[in-house]
Amino acid sequence: MNSESQANYKKLGRLAIAYGEEHHLLADGQCGSRKHHQAIDLALSKRLVWDPLILQRCSAGWISNDAKSCFDRVVHWVAVIAMMRLAITWNALRMMFDTLATSTHRVRTGFGDSEESFHPPSIVPFQGCGQGNGAGPPIWVPVSSVIIQMMIAMGFGFECLTAIDSQLITAQCFCFVDDTDVIEAGKSVEQSGEDICHSVQHAASTWTGGISATGGAINPEKSFWWLIDFVWDSREGKLRFRRTHQLLPDHKLQIPGLTGELEALRRLEPDEAEKTLGVMLAPLEDQHAHVAHLKSIAKKWAEQVRSGHLHKYNVIPLIKTTVMKSLEYPMVLTTLDAATWESIMSPVLQVCLPKAGICRSFPRDMVLAPLKFQGLGIPHPFGTQVSKDIEVLLRHLSNRTKTGAYMEAAVQEH
């Protein structure tokens, strides 16, 4: 995009988000493209909401969906109204969206711009934010916030009181840009999975309709859902998750696909983990899924290094700045012991130590020891996991964030 226009677009986006944050006009559920919000915090919030759902034996539908090209499909008049809600003037928005709607497109390469160009028809202008638009994320945040507020106004979601101080905890949607989880829970523990199926379908249809009204669409191939319910196990004398074959096996949650035809979403078992926001999550937590995912990251990285050419003095810094960062990302959701972390790191060290000119059987206590104790300075992942847990507790509880409220509720429940 033209550099002068891009500077204006970015300024408009910053002003809109700053105004929305100051006046609390952005939905708590939208964590993408906002300062002091991280994808891993959203994943942690989802994990923390599952805890009271399970402890209270509350039936719920949990729908994870992915919007198709939300930036490219947003309708301009919808975006204009959403941005005006954040105090952006009509003249400024007209400047931006008239330019986007009538711009001429060329392909820019190292050899110059293409002679051939593409421009909109005279009747139907271009829609969407435009590829590379600096205001693209700030446009989608207010648009999606309105849809989330619509879901709240219609009464969808899960709510409960904390066990000790009786504070109201609510959860309706968890969004990170276009990756969204929609929640619809029973209003009492007496409602079974069969009782809430209609409201879960209504929630899915309402969310899909809101996305469609803005010009977007849901991609069913990247979407799935869990139906959380419980059944009494008389042999063991306790409640267990109901499996798919025990709970309406012929029930299908359907939403309009990219072509407009109704398509059924994949339904997962309560312990069937799926990768969302870069981590493996499921209502019934399974640390084995985390371990398998982390081992695959370590093995893939080790294979890439094995076939590469590195100076031996660059190997140790490379470990700390690449693969260790990938392993650190999901640590706030894991409770793995030291031995498990060492097994995850094993393929990395087996490949990298010889490349660094060190015997591959060098004592691991020295490999993972700090430099001041004559170690190699590779941080032990178990210690990093503990420090990450402490950091996230201090950050959310001291700043009184929504994730911090979920943490307090989980502590009081236990």
Q: Band the pLDDT of 294: cuts 50, 70, 90.
A: very high
Tokens (6 digits) for 100 = 């986007």
Q: How do residues 102-114 score in pLDDT, each as one tens digit?
A: 888 888 889 998 9
SS (H, E, C) 266-283: EEECCCCCEEECCEEECC
Other C-beta atoms closer than 10 Å to the C-beta of 190 total 9
Q: Chain centroid to CA 140: how far?
A: 15
Examine the pLDDT at 303 and tell me if it is beyond 70.
yes
Other C-beta atoms closer than 10 Å to the C-beta of 406 total 22
H/E element, 241: strand 238-241
Distance CA 252, CA 264 (A): 6
> Residue 276: how many CA atoms within 13 Å on its side-chain side?
29
3-state secondary structure of 142: helix
CB contact burial 258-287 (16+ within 10 A = b; e otherwise): eeeeebebebbbbebbeebbebbbbbebbe
Residue type, 55: L
Q: What single-letter DSSP state applies at residue 242?
A: P
Other C-beta atoms closer than 10 Å to the C-beta of 61 total 26
Q: How do residues 334-387 score in pLDDT, each as one tens digit?
A: 999 999 999 999 999 999 999 999 999 999 999 999 999 989 999 999 999 999
Please compute Rg for the chain using Cα positions: 25
Q: Which of 180, 171, 174 is nearest to 208 (CA)?
A: 180
Distance CA 155, CA 41 (A): 25
pLDDT of residue 309: 87
pLDDT of residue 70: 80
Phi, psi of 90 (to 5 degrees): -65, -40
Q: How do residues 312-331 score in pLDDT, each as one tens digit?
A: 999 999 999 999 999 999 99
Q: How do residues 7-40 score in pLDDT, each as one tens digit?
A: 999 999 999 999 999 999 999 888 988 888 889 9
Pairing of strands 108-109, 224-228: unpaired
**Out of 16-20, 186-190, 200-204, which region has the weakest mean confidence (pLDDT)?**
186-190
Pairing of strands 224-228, 266-268: parallel
Q: How do residues 164-185 score in pLDDT, each as one tens digit?
A: 988 899 999 999 988 899 999 9
